[in-house]
Amino acid sequence: MKHRHTDAANSPWPMLIALVASVPAFYDSMMPTPATWATWMYLVSGVVVLASAWRVQRRLRDRAQEPSRGHWGERPMQLKLDWFLGAALLANAVLPQSNESEPALIWRLVIAVLMLYRLLKISQPHFTETGLARLLAMGAAVLALCGIGFFWLDPEVKTLHDGLWLAFSTAATVGYGDMVPSSTASRIFSVFVVLLGYGILSLVTASVAAMFVGSQERKVEREILGDMHREMRELRQEIDQLRQEVRASRQQLEGAMASTPSTRPAPEAGQAPPTPRPE
């Protein structure tokens, strides 16, 4: 029960949810009429990130004498980044809107890049060594969220279907030209769509290729194992045959030695055995 409570306290999910929740607030600040919920989203996300960083730092202080177990937040640089991101999110709540201040927009862009890096580090175990079905589900979810984002941010995207198509063509770096981002918010959003969507699509493509290559490798392995088993059977048969021949030769030798009589007379009691004469 204690270990379960410790695992729940050290879970990366609160920080992951807080960072993801701050993404809509980042793009809402670039809209013509920003909403007030974006400010509260920055405040809540900053508090959650700072609380997670404080919890990890306290855990490190309590276990300073124990070796590191490779936990997601136990690296010093990541812990410093968490503290910085928490403070930066709180600062985003009091800064001017991005559509009104260019320095505020640049600051939020820098924080967004750091947030993307932290999100990738947290979610890395969920993308590595996973099955094709899970990768397909993740890819579909990311494309759906990106399509909703384009539908929300770009005034030229009239329907959700157009947003999904723009998200796919952007993530796949196809660039047909039939639809392009037209607003500042959607153009900035397309940069992150390429970074995240293209990476997931690459994982899906690599997983499909690995599936075909793996099937071919398994076929070669089965052939190699079949040849090894056949050679081992032949070697075992040869060894059994050699054993039988050695056993038969030993029995013939023992029989020949038993049937051969001794030509020398046995010495009498108290008499030394005869000394052979030199020739």
CATH of the domain at 219: 1.10.287.70
Residue 22: give the domain boundaries: 1-126
Same domain for 116 and 155, yes or no, is no
Higher-confidence residue: 87 or 5? 87
For residue 259, being part of any structural domain is answered with no
The three-state DSSP-derived secondary structure of 147-216 is HHHHHHHCCCCCCHHHHHHHHHHHHCCCCCCCCCCCCHHHHHHHHHHHHHHHHHHHHHHHHHHHHHHHHH
Q: Where does a domain end: 84, 100, 126?
A: 126
As a whole number, the mean pLDDT across the chain is 79
Number of domains within the chain = 2
CB atoms within 10 A of CB 231: 10
Residue 242 has pLDDT above 60, yes or no: yes
Residue 87 has pLDDT above 90, yes or no: yes
The rounded distance, in Å, linking the Cα atoms of 146 and 165 is 10
Which tokens in the block code for residue 228?
């090894």
Residue 6: predicted pLDDT? 47
Residue 42 has pLDDT above 60, yes or no: yes
For residue 275, being part of any structural domain is answered with no
Same domain for 111 and 157, yes or no, is no
For residue 199, being part of any structural domain is answered with yes
Average pLDDT over residues 230-252: 87
- Its pTM stands at 0.60
Average pLDDT over residues 131-140: 79
Q: Where does a domain end: 81, 102, 126?
A: 126
**Looking at residue 264, what DSSP letter applies?**
S
Average pLDDT over residues 160-166: 91
Same domain for 7 and 121, yes or no, is yes
